[in-house]
Amino acid sequence: MSHPNASLTMLRMPAPFSSTFTRSAAILALCLSFAAFGQPTDGDFAAARDAYRAGDSARLERLAPRLKGHLLEPYVAYWRLRLKLDDADPSTVRAFLERYADMPLADRLRGEWLKSLGKRGAWELFAVEYPARAADDVELACYAAQFQLQRKREGDNPALEVRRFWFSGHEQPESCQPIFATLLAQGVLSTRDVWARFRLAHEAGNFRLAARIVAELPAPERPSLREFQRIDRGARVTLVKGEFRWTAQSDRELALYALDRVAQTDVTAAHDAWAKWRVRLPEADRLYGNLLVAYSAARQLVPAASDWYREAEGAALNEAQRAWRVRAALRAGNWAEVGQAIDAMPTDEALEPAWRYWKARSLRALGHDADATRLYGSLATEQHFYAFLAAEALGASVMPISEPLTPEPAALTAFAAREAVQRVVRLSALDLRPDAQREWVAVVRGLDDDGLLLAATFAQSNGLYDRSINTAERTRRRHDFALRYPTPFETEIEAAARDNGLDPALVFGLVRQESRFVSDIVSGAGAVGLMQLMPPTARWVARKTGADARSLRLDNPAFNVRLGAYYLRYVLGKLDGEPVLAAAAYNAGPGRAQAWRGNAPLEGAIYVETIPFNETRDYVKKVLANAMFYQARLGARYVALHDRLGVITPRGAAADIEKSVEKSAEKSVDPAADGGADSSAAVPDASPTERPEPER
């Protein structure tokens, strides 16, 4: 960027190749033509896939001979082995690993084979294959330590290598338990280490795990099950009474456990009870308790959270607690505290875009304009949510410039002819998207920018929009934002936006984030299609719009965006027409989006930064940044991100929103939409897609 006030425009790119075809029709044609000549068909392959998914080994064995010579024959071989892996002949497994060594399937099977061997204690075979495993997960690392313990030499302690896995507030694989037992028996894991993991577990909300962890303590130091049950039945009452033996570490830890349990649901009550007896604890424990309260208060958006963080000064903060110290200060409007909290972060954390932006904001608020401008300038050359905000802080309206690649036809033909690329296309068409993604990652690994853009162009021309977008985003110097922000289904999306009075750029930005334009994608929670609609929400919208609710074709792009756009308009109307709140509501539900408002007008960027759910916070940033790119792609009037974010009205000001929405004939909102009398037609007060979990 040559000058802070420079205005750059994105180059408009040619539309994707017109050779995109309907994959299902192409597959059918291939099946018919191959069947006529006795060749293996995709129909046979689909039957084999279904047999594998059903665990029907006998049926899979009957189908396998028909698929000899099929492009995806390696997957059939993998499935046959996978269903009988615990009993597989080692020579058969090795033959597979050698034959398909250049495919992701080989590394996948090797990892599963090693876990099977470790579980059975087949250490000689484990020793042969383990060195070939390039990237180990925790389960494998613990099996490796078990193996090494079988043959350890004097002075060696392989268990020490996995000691770090102990310090987690989450369940660890079964393979780690013998190692942990060894470390505890040797005294390598001390009583202090057990209490450290106990704290990590209850901080993460894993209270049952916390209770199991203390069972590893020596009997004289171990709290009784009855003491845990007393807290679990009534943590708040126990906390208020404060009836603990303050000289005993076990009781102090139980008191802090009770404090955390209450703080995670009602932090104000926790703080009031804690304030009465925290002076009885040693300073280190007192500071830790103060931190538990401050962290929970920050995530519950309690105005006093920033003050309570100052009470924890001197406690050791983890990454999440450091981040929420900044967010609490943002909610409080304390710019000096924002800067100090960021300065207290390790360097690698402080250099993340979010904290660089908020550090610049704090510098400017405190009158250090030159330092703020330098930070803004470094951010404004990047391509993300904070880059737009930084550029606007400098008075610029900056959009990245594309430098597209026009691939030579011969280069595209050669790329398309690669067997791995053909497998990606076929796997995607046959509902094996995770396998297609693994294959594609291997295809594009190590490519330079031109190679990545060629691959992205191929993917887009074949309707593999998710692969195209992800690949185009990997370029380092040469970028093509038409590949990163494509406009498939443009007619359908623009019509749905127009009919519902929505900004097309916002709808495109939401679709890109929800589905990457994969029209038939289904999430683990059951959300379907371009706008990732849950069937109950879709049925409600279908009734409101007069669509046929009995035969919901949510994988139909036009139908899906029609319903999704209506729902987006609904939440916009319910939430003061604020795009920020609507995006948050689309992901986490209107009730949560409402609850996250402040008690006073709140800058939209601060609202976004302090969303308590990691997933929703990231989602809203990406949807709004996507909308910025799409307004340029669509040739729309430039609307600054700062203006899109706006100012969020106080929580109290939203009290009459539901009534005003109900009265608005043009919105046509069902008054039962949040669980009224007509429950069969009600839209749950949740995301139309999934319920994200709060940050722990």
Residue 21 confidence class, pLDDT cut points 50, 70, 90: very low
Q: How far is CA 668 from the centre of its chain?
A: 33
Cβ-proximal residues to 214 (8 Å cutoff; 6+ apart), any chain? 194, 195, 198, 222, 223, 228, 250, 253
**Cα–Cα distance measured from residue 50 to residue 432, given in angstroms and rounded to the nearest whole number:** 11
pLDDT of residue 528 exceeding 50: yes
Cβ-proximal residues to 226 (8 Å cutoff; 6+ apart), any chain? none
Contact 650, 601 (CB under 8 A): yes
Can you tell me which residue has the tokens 């199991």? 212
CATH number of 35-150: 1.25.40
pLDDT of residue 281 exceeding 60: yes
> What pLDDT does residue 130 have?
84
Mean pLDDT, rounded, of the chain: 87
From 139, 203, 311, 514, the catalytic residue: 514
Dihedral angle over CA of 130, 133, 138, 139, nearest 10: -50
- Domain residue spans in the chain? 35-150, 190-316, 490-681
> What pLDDT does residue 14 have?
34
Tokens at 130, concatenated: 């383990």
Q: How do residues 354-381 score in pLDDT, each as one tens digit? A: 999 999 999 999 999 999 999 999 999 9
**Averaged pLDDT, 290-304:** 97
> What pLDDT does residue 374 have?
97
Tokens at 262, concatenated: 């209450």
**Cα–Cα distance measured from residue 594 to residue 197, given in angstroms and rounded to the nearest whole number:** 36
Is-catalytic flag, 61?
Answer: no
> What pLDDT does residue 309 have?
98
Residue 413 confidence class, pLDDT cut points 50, 70, 90: very high
Q: How do residues 478-515 score in pLDDT, each as one tens digit? A: 999 999 999 999 999 999 999 999 999 999 999 999 99
Question: In this structure, which topology does domain 490-681 adopt according to CATH?
Answer: Lysozyme (1.10.530)
- Judged by average pLDDT, the poorest of 145-159, 400-414, 507-521, 682-696 is 682-696
**Cα–Cα distance measured from residue 46 to residue 426, given in angstroms and rounded to the nearest whole number:** 11
Helix axes 249-263, 191-203, angle to 10 degrees: 10
